[in-house]
Amino acid sequence: MSFGPSLLLRSLNPAAVAAGADIPNAVTIDGVTLSRSDLLGAATSVAERVARADRVAILAEPTVTTVLAVVGCLIAGVTAVPVPPDSGTAEMAHILGDSGAQAWLGKAPEGSELPVVPVRVHARSWHTYPEPDPATTAFVLYTSGTTGLPKGVVLSRAAVAAGLDAVADAWAWTPNDVLVHGLPLFHVHGLVLGVLGALRVGSPLIHTGKPTPQAYAAAEGSLYFGVPTVWSRIVEEPDLAKQLADARLLISGSAPLPVPVFERLRELTGHAPIERYGMSETMITLSTRVDGERRPGWVGTPVLGVRTRLRDEAGAEVPHDGESVGALQVCGPMLFDGYLDRPDATAAEWTEDGWFKTGDVAVIDASGFHRIVGRESVDLIKSGGYRIGAGEVETVLLGHPMVAEVAVVGLPDADLGQRIVAFVVPRGAYPDSIEKDLIDHVAEQLSVHKRPREIRVVDVLPRNAMGKVQKKLLS
């Protein structure tokens, strides 16, 4: 099976752009619009400056600098490590140390000791680079596990290309589309699908900075990406939601889209949203299709090149009867190459016969439609579409002098899907400000979206006979 030409960023083919395949609005972000030729010229000039590095960190603010830095790395075949711009001290140190990034490309955070390679938005170069080997690592993306510090997901150029072609096929995404979203540029959703997808397909991209209902309504695109929190905020503003009626497709992913939000979107915009399912490790593996059924609460069928199966705890097959629940396993050409320098953690996620264990439980019906039922572990929380490991937040809270014991859980939340709640046994007397102090501590050490939204001070945590905290009893 072919997954498109070897040129990863197909619309930035230098020969075609030189021959006139230009558009004035390839990318609009942070109030700046770049034509395709400006983007190619500026990113190639970044490539020239960064070409001798192996791996660089990019402070992934939603700016043209970030886009040029990422595209420059891809042109030069240098691995990009996108860093959440609100990363706190501990998280930033971990990402930089673990990834071995040699420099910042573009903006550097205050106080960083790494050298900085500047990105000059107005510089241009028309040098042409040979297309790097498809097996080259495009990105190391940091993502949370159930315990410990985030791991670096190693994504190859080939995986990115296959993942993008598969969703373009499911959504009939063409250069005639205008993509709109305001998602962060340090995850697969906003960066890989949301920037590189547009540049591979050749559709203009409008990045709205923040994914607000106002900005989405004003953007006049044809294809809109959002996490469920974005869509649920949009349906809370019916007049703005109605302005999306002229779109071609509204696409939801990164977390379960509540059925009432699906229905309300359909009512207000006339569009049944497309739902798709994926992971940092796998890109998008399941989606409803532009020409197929869109069933509320279900995430569709495997995209091009993907196979899925369900297994029970003993590893036996689970029937595809629409009711039996099993652990979802996937394989396909868009899967990652492993966690950076973590062969054991990588091996643990794969079956002996080469399937990736998603950690999600699902049902599959006789027609091949999938419904994601939940996660196997309570320790992976999805809040606002962000994946957060309970263990990482617990470790940071245990480092605070006021905390003797802690259990972090995700509780249901109408806006965020789940909200992070920390049950804390304090160490002796504590000030009235304990809640704010602990929330700020996590926001400073990790990143703002990993902060608990609530701290509940308790005398004891429920434990089983082995002393293990019974998180299911915390609500």
Give the interface with ligand MCA as residue ranges (CB under 6 A).
Answer: 183-184, 187-190, 211, 227, 229-230, 253-254, 278-280, 384-386, 439-440, 443, 448-449, 451
Least distance between ligand AMP and beta carbon 3 (Å):
21
Interaction of residue 255 with ligand AMP, rule CB under 6 A: yes
How many CB atoms are located within 10 Å of the residue 2 CB?
6
Least distance between ligand MCA and beta carbon 420 (Å):
10
- Closest residue to bound ligand AMP by CB: 387
The structure tokens listed for 439 are 């929330």
The structure tokens listed for 155 are 């994504």
Segment holding 412, helix H or strand E: strand 403-413
87 binds, among ligand AMP, ligand MCA, none (CB under 5 to 8 A by kind): none
Member of 278, 332, 338, 389 binding ligand AMP (CB under 6 A)? 278
Interaction of residue 242 with ligand AMP, rule CB under 6 A: no
Site for ligand AMP in 58-77 (CB under 6 A): none
* Rounded (5°) CA angle 406-391-473: 55
Instruction: Show contacts of 286-291: CB within 8 Å, 24+ apart.
Output: 286/370, 287/167, 287/170, 287/171, 288/170, 289/170, 289/171, 290/170, 290/171, 290/172, 290/249, 291/172
d(C-alpha 300, C-alpha 289), whole Å: 7
Nearer to ligand AMP by Cβ, of 186 and 216: the residue is: 186
Least distance between ligand MCA and beta carbon 238 (Å):
19
Site for ligand AMP in 186-215 (CB under 6 A): 188
Nearer to ligand AMP by Cβ, of 386 and 423: the residue is: 386
* Rounded (5°) CA angle 249-250-255: 140
Which residue type, as a one-letter code, is found at position 291? D
* Rounded (5°) CA angle 354-359-364: 85
CB 411 within 8 A of CB 180: no
Interaction of residue 424 with ligand AMP, rule CB under 6 A: no
Site for ligand AMP in 381-400 (CB under 6 A): 382, 387
372 binds, among ligand AMP, ligand MCA, none (CB under 5 to 8 A by kind): ligand AMP
Nearer to ligand AMP by Cβ, of 12 and 279: the residue is: 279
Least distance between ligand MCA and beta carbon 80 (Å):
15
The structure tokens listed for 384 are 């606002």
Classified as helix, coil or strand, 308 is strand
CB 179 within 8 A of CB 203: yes
Closest to 80 in 3D by CA, of 116, 107, 61, 54: 54
Member of 44, 66, 143, 203 binding ligand AMP (CB under 6 A)? 143
Nearer to ligand AMP by Cβ, of 243 and 346: the residue is: 346
Nearer to ligand AMP by Cβ, of 75 and 409: the residue is: 409
Interaction of residue 349 with ligand AMP, rule CB under 6 A: no
Interaction of residue 299 with ligand AMP, rule CB under 6 A: yes
User: What letter does residue 195 receive in the DSSP assignment?
Assistant: I
Classified as helix, coil or strand, 80 is strand
Interaction of residue 302 with ligand AMP, rule CB under 6 A: no
Least distance between ligand AMP and beta carbon 331 (Å):
15
Q: Where on the chain is the footprint of ligand AMP (CB under 6 A)?
A: 143, 188, 253-256, 275-280, 299, 358-360, 372, 375, 382, 387
